């Protein structure tokens, strides 16, 4: 046992000696390496579609010198984040050992040990992936910063770049946002509340959770007492001081803009022509497709239509269908409460929004808007698997032949499955792949009912091929990237491939207006008939509903809007909650189109397409006895006639065929 203890002790001393020698060697190496530029790193400036700045990184007009920052704020930050900041060389080894012991004891990470320099390095140069490479890079950047800058420069940079919540980076911006005063004027109470936010802005912002922010403030004030920078009386006075927050600035920050920003950074990191070390160079100018008015309108409609007390989440985007440019993006209701970007990162069941891919495939395979199947309770039997009995919503059936247009209006599940099986289960997948759907799609009978999971951006890009009459687009947020020397590092390629028949896409788009057309009121109601009096422009629209998801995707030639709502834990929605998505959709797209003529944003009839009045439910040509008629579109030569059977199963049965 003595030998074992002796061996372990020798190994500990050896490792410690090796670490010291390694750090000495690394310090010498970085001292003679090119100086890392902390004042220009992360100088990313983001421009919207009109070339107006909407986000600045490290380059901020609100940068303040260390001597112009409240001493209480400085002391609070050091006491909280890095007690021995002025004594170590970038790493606090005793704190690392202590944190490692506590984390091992608890079986999970409950305490961190990053110094201010490490945090600054991470904020400036790195992403937040928890990989060994990122940790290794962080160590080198930390050493390079410590070797080339004095402590005051590092602390000043750190305080001017950290996140204080609500899109406010840097202490001067935060001071003005929360208290309408300069960082030099902060009281101990104000300084201690602000210094607690960076640990978790989503939790410790006093505007998000005041009670939790006060708990954090109490911990910080206690640490300041322990570090002998304030007295216990000053601590109690500061904790009990009434704080008055001032957030009614003239230009309130959009809370959802950070979802767009995060999506831009993700896209930037995926561009091969931008080097991995882009943050090291002298700044980047990133020109995006953002329409700030569309973003503002989308956020406003989300806030106004989903009750504040609800836990429902949302993802929504608006896209230019002609080129795939994303003009607005929301990844959740409140970035400060949850920075998880559901628009870019989540996959959800899409429900009946899958059906347009099927119905385009049907048109491509000889169906027309009048092609009919019988709406009736149906069980499908297969030789090699169990019977399948899909149901229409609310168990409503017409028990008669209905047209494809009527099936679209009611989102008929029976019609969809019959079409899917008639065409072959690969037909839908073929169309989906052509327009850009890469998600897993199984050749099963339920596929057109949207049992698969797809990302909202991918769905929007797929629908864009219908909206632009057949062209596949690549969804994107970045138009161009330029360095500070004016060199263009990247420019989006707007070339697009024709993957669908334009005339068939036109016919499909007109069918999708049936979802809110009162002419289709019969044994059932169109799924969005409540919008018929609210829409001032013509849109193709499809909704989709599963137990835990509700979608609305609609478009014209000018803009596409997709909205999803649901719970993060996949719990079921109740019927009254379905309206949230629809309201957000129509109010946002109508606001975008309010100053445009409908004739300019809808579609001209292709030369090889004819318009014929038909009875909307059956799809048959009108007669003298017809009470309702609807103008439908057909490829010339495929217009229905009175004698057409067009898949009328009841007639087939009566004639014994």
Would you list the DSSP string of 560-595?
EEEEEEE-TT-PPPPGGGHHHHHHHHHHHHHHHHTT
Long-range (24+ apart) CB contacts under 8 A made by 197-202 are 197/163, 197/164, 197/165, 198/81, 198/162, 198/163, 198/164, 199/80, 201/163, 201/164, 201/165, 201/166, 201/336, 202/165, 202/335, 202/336, 202/337, 202/338, 202/339
Residue 36 gets which letter from DSSP?
A: P
Q: How far apart are CA 153 and CA 305, in angstroms?
A: 47
What are the residues facing 503 on neighbouring strands?
Answer: none
Q: What angle do CA 207, 209, 213 make, to 5 degrees?
A: 90
What DSSP element (H or E) covers 191? helix 188-194
> Token digits for 646?
């067009």
180 by Cβ neighbours in 10 Å (0-12 / 13-18 / 19+) ranks as middle
> Token digits for 273?
């022509």
Q: β-strand 348-349 against 453-454: which pairing, if any?
A: antiparallel
Q: Is 652:639 a contact under the CB 8 Å cutoff?
A: no
Q: Which one of the listed residues 70, 114, 192, 352 is annotated catalytic? A: 352
Q: Is 102:139 a contact under the CB 8 Å cutoff?
A: no
Q: Establish whether 352 is a catalytic residue.
A: yes
Q: How far apart are CA 223 and CA 230, in angstroms?
A: 9
Q: Which one of the listed residues 81, 146, 190, 615 is annotated catalytic? A: 81
Q: Is 332:315 a contact under the CB 8 Å cutoff?
A: yes
Q: What angle do CA 315, 583, 449 make, to 5 degrees?
A: 65
Catalytic residues: 81, 352
């Amino acid at each position: 046992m003595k030998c074992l203890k002796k061996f372990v002790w020798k190994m500990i001393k050896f490792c410690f000696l090796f670490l010291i020698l390694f750090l000495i060697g690394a310090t010498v190496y970085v001292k003679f390496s090119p100086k890392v530029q902390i004042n220009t790193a992360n100088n990313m400036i983001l421009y919207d579609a009109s070339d107006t700045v909407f986000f600045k990184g490290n380059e901020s007009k609100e940068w303040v010198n260390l001597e112009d920052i409240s001493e209480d704020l400085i002391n609070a930050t050091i006491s909280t984040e890095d007690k021995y900041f002025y004594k170590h060389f970038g790493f606090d080894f005793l704190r690392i050992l202590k944190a490692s012991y506590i984390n091992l004891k608890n079986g999970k990470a409950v305490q961190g040990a990053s110094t201010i320099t490490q945090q600054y390095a991470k904020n400036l140069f790195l992403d937040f992936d928890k990989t060994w490479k990122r940790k290794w890079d962080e160590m080198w950047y930390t050493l390079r910063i410590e070797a080339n800058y004095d402590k005051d420069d590092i602390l000043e940079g750190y305080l001017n770049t950290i996140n204080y919540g609500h899109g406010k980076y840097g202490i001067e911006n935060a001071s003005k946002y929360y208290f309408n005063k300069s960082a030099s004027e902060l009281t101990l109470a104000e300084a201690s509340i602000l210094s607690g936010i960076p640990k978790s802005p989503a939790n410790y912002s006093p505007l998000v959770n005041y009670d939790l922010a006060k708990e954090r403030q109490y911990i910080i004030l206690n640490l300041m007492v322990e570090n002998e920078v304030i007295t216990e009386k000053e601590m109690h006075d500061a904790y009990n001081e009434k704080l008055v927050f001032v957030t009614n600035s003239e230009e309130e920050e959009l809370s959802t803009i950070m979802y767009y920003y995060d999506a831009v950074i993700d896209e930037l990191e995926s561009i091969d022509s931008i080097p991995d070390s882009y943050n090291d160079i002298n700044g980047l100018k990133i020109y995006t497709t953002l329409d700030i008015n569309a973003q503002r309108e989308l956020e406003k409609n989300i806030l106004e239509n989903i009750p504040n007390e609800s836990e429902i989440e949302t993802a929504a985007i608006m896209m230019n269908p002609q080129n795939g440019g994303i003009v607005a993006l929301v990844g959740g209701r409140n970035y400060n409460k949850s920075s998880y970007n559901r628009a870019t990162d989540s996959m959800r069941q899409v429900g009946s929004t899958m059906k347009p891919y099927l119905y385009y495939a049907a048109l491509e395979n000889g169906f027309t808007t009048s092609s009919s199947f019988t709406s009736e309770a149906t069980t499908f039997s297969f030789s090699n698997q169990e019977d399948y009995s899909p149901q229409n919503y609310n168990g409503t059936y017409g028990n008669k032949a209905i047209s494809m247009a009527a099936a679209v209006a009611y989102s008929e599940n029976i019609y969809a499955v019959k079409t899917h099986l008639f065409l072959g289960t690969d037909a839908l997948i073929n169309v989906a792949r052509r327009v850009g759907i890469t998600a897993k799609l199984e050749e099963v009978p339920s596929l057109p009912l949207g049992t698969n999971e797809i990302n909202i951006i991918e769905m929007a890009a797929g629908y864009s091929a219908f909206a632009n009459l057949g062209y596949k687009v690549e969804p994107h947020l970045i138009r161009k990237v330029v360095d500070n020397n004016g060199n263009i590092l990247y420019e989006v390629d707007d070339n697009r491939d024709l993957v669908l028949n334009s005339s068939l896409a036109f016919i499909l788009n007109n069918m999708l207006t049936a979802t809110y057309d009162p002419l289709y009121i019969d044994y059932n109601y169109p799924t969005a008939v409540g919008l018929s009096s609210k829409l001032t422009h013509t849109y193709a629209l499809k909704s989709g509903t599963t137990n835990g998801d509700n979608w609305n995707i609609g478009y014209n030639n000018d803009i596409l809007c997709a909205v999803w709502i649901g719970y993060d834990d996949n719990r079921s929605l109740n019927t009254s909650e379905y309206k949230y998505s629809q309201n957000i959709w129509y109010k946002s797209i109508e606001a975008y189109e309010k100053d445009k003529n409908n004739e300019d944003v809808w579609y001209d009839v292709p030369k090889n397409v004819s318009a014929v009045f038909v009875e909307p439910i059956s799809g048959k040509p009108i007669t003298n006895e017809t009470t309702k008629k609807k103008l439908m579109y057909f490829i010339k030569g495929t217009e229905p006639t009175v004698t057409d059977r067009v898949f009328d199963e009841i007639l087939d049965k009566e004639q014994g065929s």
